[in-house]
Amino acid sequence: MAMTPSTGHEAAPIRTGNIRGGDALPRSQSLASELAASGRGPDGGVPGAIVPDIIAHVRNVGDVGGAFGSWLGRPGSRLWIEGFLLTAQAPATQAQFEYAAVLPDGQLSPWVPAGQYCGTRLQTLPLFGFCIRASAAARFDCVYSGRFVDGSEIGPMNAGTVCRTPSGAPLEALRITLQPRASSRDQRDLPREAAEVLPPGAGHYLAFVGPPGQYDAMGATQFRLLTTLGLREHHQLLDFGCGSLRAGRLLIPYLLPGHYHGIEPNTWLIEDAIAREIGQDQIGLKRPVFRANADFNSDGFGVRFDFILAQSVFSHAGRNLIETALAGFRRNLAEGGLVLATFVDARRSGVPENAGDGWVYPEVVAYREETIGRLIQEAGFVGMLLPWYHPRQSWYVMALTMEALPSSSKLVHLSGAVLRDPEFEKSS
């Protein structure tokens, strides 16, 4: 779901700097430590240093420097990265980026601006992931990937999404690419093939709602989960935060006319999905019902829903909005109906638990399992964590009575596994 507009991006990497990824800096003293200790960026003057775009401190190696767009570190060496910094030597990075790292205790470090060191020092402790975000006024966005000592490669990520492995392996190499921001209008008009390389959150209907290369898969997994839990064509369904109809383009033709309901305040997402994925003829035939309210209220449709779907909504919402949404679900769920919603798990993701309110898209917020359970209970639901696969979040099911929930013996049918696709290998 996306409930506020976002500045767009376009994939056209810019490279600066003059040191190859993995080359040791030509100084015996640690440049990363010197910059961090002095509080100065390279423009503040470190005499005699050749300053790259990015510096990483690698176990048993020291500081290595590299350029945007190249891998930095020692892939395959099992020598982990202990800290890094963006040197802010170019106007493209000055005062435009901040970043954080996943520390050995699994928690995210404080965010620091470009030019400051992030990580551990003199402790021989690895980083277990990292994330970068651009300011609203930035002329560029960062897209980043990581390689880890277990051999996995995670990414590309952007917009502050944490790059880390599910196994919790230490970070071995990283790659950071700058991409100039294009106008949302330019991105919106891109053909489908060109939009598939945009970073998540870009101003195209494929990308605004998440990784554009997973637009089809994320719609399919929602449809599969719903039908596995008993969705039939005669049921009434609410797609809460329907976005650009990732699931809707499968659910609208499946359900009887007038049985699909969607809430999405960014109406351009629905318009583009209808024009480029569904077609007006099908809309006329199936008569889906859309509302554009942004207040997290699901009242006003005049029906009780057998299924309510909220995928990637609460991953951007403060507690006050989650409470409002769940209260509305409680009022509008039919007896025997189910609510299916995703949350980012604070422990598994390494994102600190959110304590704030409001809508933070495209930032991501996380909650502990105990907090999620309490929110569900306080809304008047019973609920449970489902084993259904999601590449970044966790699925929960809620109902008015325990009898409506799937029994433990049925959970074996709710894996969400995707076979013969390396991108979703961890699902099975």
Amino acid (1-letter code) at residue 13:
P
For residue 8, being part of any structural domain is answered with: no
For residue 116, being part of any structural domain is answered with: yes
271, 376: one domain:
yes
Q: 139 is written with which tokens?
A: 């002329």
Alpha-carbon separation of residue 139 from 12, 91, 142, 207, 416 (angstroms): 13, 10, 10, 19, 39
179, 216: one domain:
no
240, 162: one domain:
no
Centroid of chain to Cα 361? 10
172, 283: one domain:
no
For residue 188, being part of any structural domain is answered with: no
Quick check: 365 and 315 in contact, CB under 8 A? yes
128, 256: one domain:
no
248, 318: one domain:
yes
pLDDT at res. 182: 63
How long, in residues, is the chain?
428
* Residue 319 belongs to domain with CATH number: 3.40.50.150
Number of folded domains that form the chain: 2
245, 100: one domain:
no
* Residue among 166, 163, 189, 183 at smallest CA distance from 175: 163
288, 150: one domain:
no
Range of the domain at 78: 23-183
- Measure the CA–CA gap between 261 and 259, rounded to whole angstroms: 6
- Measure the CA–CA gap between 87 and 56, rounded to whole angstroms: 10
154, 284: one domain:
no
For residue 254, being part of any structural domain is answered with: yes
For residue 10, being part of any structural domain is answered with: no
The CB density around residue 339, as the number of other CB atoms within 10 Å, is 26
261, 396: one domain:
yes
For residue 206, being part of any structural domain is answered with: no
Q: What is the pLDDT along the chain (428 residues), one digit of tens a residue?
A: 443 333 222 222 222 232 223 333 333 234 444 444 444 333 333 344 445 788 889 988 888 888 888 888 887 788 899 999 888 665 555 557 888 898 888 888 888 888 888 887 777 889 999 988 877 667 777 888 899 988 888 877 877 788 888 778 899 999 888 877 666 667 898 898 888 877 788 889 999 998 888 999 999 999 999 999 999 999 999 999 999 999 999 999 999 999 999 999 999 999 999 999 999 999 999 999 999 999 999 999 999 999 999 999 999 999 999 999 999 999 999 999 999 999 999 988 888 899 999 998 878 899 999 999 999 999 999 999 999 999 999 999 999 999 999 999 999 999 999 998 878 888 88
178, 282: one domain:
no
Centroid of chain to Cα 244? 16
For residue 252, being part of any structural domain is answered with: yes
Question: Of 162, 183, 204, which residue is a domain's last?
Answer: 183
- Measure the CA–CA gap between 143 and 155, rounded to whole angstroms: 8
For residue 205, being part of any structural domain is answered with: no
178, 271: one domain:
no
